Amino acid sequence: MNKIAKHSLMAALIAALGLGATLVQAQTAADRVYVIDARNEVATSGTGLCWRTGYWTPAAAANDPAGCKCDKDLLPKEKCAPAAAAAGASTGAQPAAAGVKPSAEKITLSADALFDFNKAVLRPEGKAKLDELAAKVKGIKLEVIIAVGHADRIGGDAYNQKLSEKRAAAVKEYLVSKGTEANRVYTEGKGSKQPVTKADQCKGPKSAKVIACLQPDRRVDIEVIGTK
């Protein structure tokens, strides 16, 4: 997905969820990993959750000025503790009331459990896993589900990119069929750019052994954000 398309998709998502930033106002930047509105502030949901751009990763969030504000629970404690203490001292802010703190849960589903190798059509076993996820979602006030598809290194970059996008889209389509609002599910494909296996693992040309070794790279990361 090119930068223009990615920015357009995020802008559409913001508009659909009523984040208070218009399509003209909403903007993103390659050096920021959160959506920035016309006031040059991070755009947030109705419950105060920050909206991420397609550049977001935990590592990138740690280097973003808004990282500790938006994703303190996902960053190293030593990274955000000084900032949080300083902010509390200067503003006199009190802790959020119990029971209203936004929560995020990230799960990784093996693509082989969801799809046949080199396919993007959900298997019965994959549907069963997503049924479990859909049931959990009904127990919270859902903000957004982010489904990110990944592929292994076998095959060309363009092919793997499309395969990862199709897998993420298949997950969205199924969750929507189970009652999840379509505008609550954001999908993205990362191709083979973010492998879990190390560079010195799974060496050699394509073979049954290498395919099995690369299995962890064939996955769909699904993050559910909402309040209980």
Q: What is the rounded distance in angstroms from the CA atom of residue 184 to the CA atom of residue 193?
A: 25
List the domain range (segments joined by +) for residue 136: 103-227
Same domain? For 107 and 64 the reply is no
In the chain, the number of structural domains is: 2
Among 48, 64, 91, the domain-final residue is 91
pLDDT tens digits, 69-91: 888 877 777 778 754 444 444 44
Among 32, 56, 91, the domain-final residue is 91
Query: Against a cut of 0.75, is the pTM above it?
Result: no
Q: Please indicate whether residue 169 or residue 57 has the higher confidence score (pLDDT).
A: 169
Would residue 97 count as lying in a domain?
Answer: no
Among 91, 118, 134, the domain-final residue is 91
Would residue 71 count as lying in a domain?
Answer: yes
pLDDT tens digits, 157-210: 999 999 999 989 999 999 999 998 888 888 989 999 989 888 888 988 888 999
Would residue 96 count as lying in a domain?
Answer: no
Same domain? For 86 and 107 the reply is no
Structure tokens at 60: 């990138």
Q: Where do we find the tokens 């990862």?
A: 164
Q: What is the rounded distance in angstroms from the CA atom of residue 19 to the CA atom of residue 21?
A: 6
**Which residues make beta-bridge pairs with 105?**
224
Same domain? For 125 and 196 the reply is yes
- What per-residue confidence (pLDDT) applies to 102? 52
Same domain? For 37 and 135 the reply is no
Q: What percentage of the chain has pLDDT greater than the value 90?
A: 13
Question: Within 10 A of 91 (CB to CB), how many other CB atoms are there?
Answer: 8
Cα–Cα separations (whole angstroms), residue 97 to 93, 100, 101, 102: 12, 6, 7, 11
